[in-house]
Structure 1
Amino acid sequence: MDVPALNQTSASLTLFCLPYAGGSAAVYRDWQTRLPGWVRLKALHIPGRGVRYEMPPMHGWPELLDLLVEDVQSSVSQPFAIFGHSMGALVGIELAHAIRSRYGHAPIWFGASACKAPGSRERKLDWLSCPEEEFFDQMRVLNGMPEELLQNREFMELVLPILRADFHLCGSYELRDREPLECPMLVLGGSQDLEIARSSESLSAWARETRAPLERRELDAGHFFINTHRDTVISLVADSLARAFHSRGSGVLPSRSYA
């Protein structure tokens, strides 16, 4: 159904996007041109890569959240949403709660992609010290890196500290007792994602993180469908965002045509 265009001067939102383990803000480099014009995308930078390449990777949740909250604080007094893929979704949900706790603002929408729900995660505390081959085996399960790169010593010495830090963040995650969010959620999964497929509840359990409706969509893809099925992901995110924005009583229906 066609709807009127959104008046960007009176209604718009910021979409904070977070990358997967080992990834950078560049994962979202061309999303802005494919999203509706009323969405302002802001990809967040994780230490150890991109513009924060010279910053040591972070192993602890409090330090990372302090950094990211500072990055977004100037934008959270206006409507905002959060999307993350894999580790990015886990960081995103913690960022949403940190923003709500510190500033009293909450996202109007949340998107979790290729990520086990917070309540379905198992702790694993040896990612910083486990043998390299064990680490590489996990990378193979995720199909996150070509074998030739895994066997490239020079390359792996460069990226392994970042990957270990990110995996440690995920492995050391502890779910805290707190009130759920109030915003609608979109949860995306890949039918060929072996890591997610091990537990049928790993995606549906995201419903515990919000009191609002949750929409779950499955793609015929592996763990990194954010790259292999990029246009589909962007389309699903844009449509879900539009529904959430309208349902909050903005007074204007967002346009479904892309900028």
Structure 2
Amino acid sequence: MKSPCALRLFVFPHAGGSQLMFREWAAHFPEDWQFLPQDYPGHGLLAGLTPLDDADALVDWFLERLGAELGDPDVPFACFGHSMGALVAYEVTRRVVGQGGRPPVWLGLSGCGAPYSDRPRVEPGELTDAELRRRLVRLGGTPPRILDDPELWSVFAPVIRADITLVANWRSPQDAPPLPVPLTVFHGTEDVLAPHGPLEEWADSTTDFVGVRRFDGGHFYFQDDPARLAAVITGDVRRSLVRAAVRPRSALTPENR
């Protein structure tokens, strides 16, 4: 008989990515967790939908799509996002908390600097196809066959440009209150996209900053050995579940932060 679900773990991928990158990850998490990697419209299993290039619209889409699971009073949930997915996971959490919903027991943000960092942003219209390909090669994470096949590239390029537009235009409200959620940041020590300093600034976005977990590797530091990252995520989530079990619900609401 299948064990009851103890936790739902929502995973949000990077720009241009899909749940396919995470298809092997479920085996590295507890059997009674429901592992739920997501696709954005126009990505992966949702390739037939029109990509969204606006962060608010994408968050609205997820809140409607995942509303029943996020609001399930019987099963806690946690969120993990990588790169663009970190922004999505943060915004979904911020919106849920702001609307008075039950927050996740833990939030993991990977390969992404804090929203208020004054760092240069590259607009997608400034990149030629050749420049965009070179950037994706440098970061890794995109299968070479997509970059080298003209037909596949013609399908993929509008999707990745929509994602880059979303990230470039995304701004978190300057007055956003700290989230009442344990927050861990993850980083590859050789990451050329997410600099060290802005990672630490995520501490201002939460009342419970767990810290920065650093791994050897670049922007996709977990690609060759996801088990290492999964073990850290599992440990952080389990500690947060224990703390949530002894914390009164009133302590988790926006009014009592």
Report if TM-score (shorter chain) is over 0.5: yes
Alignment partner of 1:188 out of 166, 171, 186: 186
Does residue 91 in structure 1 map to residue 88 in structure 2?
yes
How do 1:217-228 and structure 2 match up within 5 A?
A: 217-228=213-224
Distance 2:45 2:129 in 1: 27
Aligned to 2:116: 119
Distance 1:71 1:145 in 2: 26
Aligned to 1:166: 163
Aligned to 2:129: 132
Q: Structure 1 length normalisation: TM-score?
A: 0.85
Any conservation in 2 of the 1:190–1:223 contact (CA below 8 Å)? yes
1:42 maps to amino acid? L
Aligned to 1:178: 176
Aligned to 1:37: 31
SS at match of 2:199: helix
Any conservation in 2 of the 1:122–1:171 contact (CA below 8 Å)? no
Aligned to 2:203: 207
Distance 1:195-1:125 versus aligned 2 partners, 3 A rule? closer
Distance 1:146-1:74 versus aligned 2 partners, 3 A rule? closer
SS at match of 1:117: coil
1:139 maps to amino acid? L
Distance 1:166 1:14 in 2: 25
How do 1:238-257 and structure 2 match up within 5 A?
A: 238-249=234-245
Distance 2:221 2:52 in 1: 26
Any conservation in 2 of the 1:123–1:172 contact (CA below 8 Å)? no
Could you report, residue by residue, the CA deviation over 1:87-115 in whole angstroms, capped at 9, with x for unpaired residues? 11111100111222335221110001111
Q: Structure 2 length normalisation: TM-score?
A: 0.85
Distance 1:238 1:157 in 2: 38
The runs of 4+ residues in structure 1 deviating greater than 4 Å are: 146-149
Aligned to 1:81: 78
Aligned to 1:26: 20
Structure 1: which 5+ runs fail to align?
A: 1-7, 252-259
Shift of 1:147: 5.9
Could you report, residue by residue, the CA deviation over 1:183-225 in whole angstroms, capped at 9, with x for unpaired residues? 11121100111122xx331211111110113221111111112
2:176 maps to amino acid? R
Structure 2: which 5+ runs fail to align?
A: 248-257
